[in-house]
A and B are shown apart, each in its own frame.
Chain A
Amino acid sequence: MTVRLPANSTGTILDTQTESGKDRQVVVVREPVRPAPTRSVGGRIIYVEDFRGIQPGFWNDGVGVAHRDCDIMFNGKPTMRLDPLGNTSGGSNPGRTAVTTGVITKRRIHDGYRHKFGMEMWFRMTSLNLTSNCWLSMSVYNRDGTNAHHARVWLDPNGNNVPLLGKILDGDASNTAGSAVWVTAVTSVLQNGAGTHTYDVPSGRLDRVGGWHSVKLVVDFVTKKYVSLALDGEALVDLSAYNMDTTASTGFAGMHHSIEFAATTSTRRFVNVANVIGTLED
């Protein structure tokens, strides 16, 4: 068998040729094309949840609902809608751990603090009433039977039609303060977080396309530190200076890849997420 690769920019061609008795030649080119819509590079994909299956592979632990949504499509496939159903939560931010009086939709994967993992997704601020009194966040966390170690990013619209902020939960500062301390790690420059192009049937707003943001968080469970954060088209932000947040927890020991959405008022609101991807980064 002969393998011929496409010419490079200078027209150079790499050829292989089978020699008699030496038929185990290997040419390693690069990773195969990633099979899911993504803006990120790197990382070996360990799952893709694109919601084409009728029953999502994510489970909601909160009092709201997370369900397959065929009203709001992305890339020709359904999405997942997160709706607190009017249930309310306290506080002024997503907190150190997920709020069970909202939506907590997750996939659990067992890994005993051995690797670096990434989690990414596309998301859309779909309905009205998403620019205040509610929080969308994405978390990768694990428990060891004694403690929980959380890496969280708060996807904060920061107001009406203003740049979206990616805030991370600062582990050291949160432990010192005894409450959640968030650090703005990245701003989606010149791109609005939420406020317009909404899909909200009762008010006659029927923009099914909306505007989609993308986010990817990478964490290291060996060192219990953040690694990086990517938001929309912004440059990858190095987060190696930040530790995960440690809280006492004897809950189920396992790693969670989670998306949370909670609100402080009962006004109906919902967001959509698409193409949730988990990656192994080492």
Chain B
Amino acid sequence: MALKLTVPMWTLVGDNEQSLGAGKTLTASNESREYPELGSFSKAIFLLDVSAASGTTPSLTVKVQGFNPAASKWHDVVTFAAQTAATGTVIAPQSSNLDFITYKAVFTITGTTPSFTFTLVAIAHVEEPAVQ
């Protein structure tokens, strides 16, 4: 039986998840905190949803990256197509094996006075008993 974990990935460095809102509004590029809790799982599907967008030619590109601790470098794991509006349509999910130990999300925003409200969630799972 697969054990699954839902991980909201819009917590930024310094955010406390106790007071996390129902989505994140960003007006400039930023990054999430690190998510080592994903390292115990074997695979994940990443789901992005944009509920609001404004500004002139706004663009939001979301990437999930994995960490190489020996080189202190981040490697791209999945990249969503650039979003330019809140269309209400479902954005194509991205999935990946979770071969890294630690992950983070990178939010790149461009445009003139851009603003995006969005959620990014990972549903991770592992095909092994929850308790060995």
Q: A: which residues have CB within 8 A of B?
A: 52-55, 60-63, 65, 67-71, 78, 81, 83, 85-87, 100-101, 201-202
Contact = CB atoms under 8 A, between A and B. Distances in A.
Interface string B96-129: 0000010000000000000000000000001010
Contact of A81 (B33, B35, B36): B36
Interface stretch (B9-17, B53-61, B76-84, B87-95): B9-17
Contact of A87 (B14, B17, B69): B14
A206 B74 CA distance: 21
Given A52-B131, A54-B130, A202-B70, A83 B16 contact: no
A62 B16 contact: yes
Given A101-B14, A201-B69, 5 more contacts: A63-B14, A63-B16, A65-B35, A70-B40, A85-B33
B30 to A, nearest CB: 15
B46 interface: no
Interface residues of B, number: 25
A65 B69 contact: no
B3 interface: yes
Given A52-B131, A62-B16, A83 B69 contact: no
A68 B131 contact: no
B9 to A, nearest CB: 13
Contacts of A101: 14
B5 interface: yes
A227 B97 CA distance: 49
A33 to B, nearest CB: 20
B13 A85 contact: yes
Interface string B32-65: 0111110111000000000000000000000000
14 contacts: A55-B5, A55-B130, A61-B18, A63-B13, A63-B14, A63-B16, A67-B36, A67-B37, A68-B40, A69-B36, A87-B14, A101-B14, A201-B70, A202-B72
A53 B34 CA distance: 21
A67 B38 CA distance: 9
A81 B39 CA distance: 12
Contacts of A87: 13-14
A54 B126 contact: yes
Contacts of A83: 36
Contact of A202 (B16, B69, B101): B69
B33 to A, nearest CB: 6
A68 B37 contact: yes
A62 B11 CA distance: 12
Nearest 4 A-B pairs (CB), nearest first? A201-B69, A67-B37, A67-B36, A54-B40
Given A53-B131, A55-B5, A85-B13, A65 B70 contact: no
Interface string B17-37: 110000000000000011111
A70 B37 CA distance: 11
Contacts of A69: 36
Contacts of B130: 53-55
A63 to B, nearest CB: 5
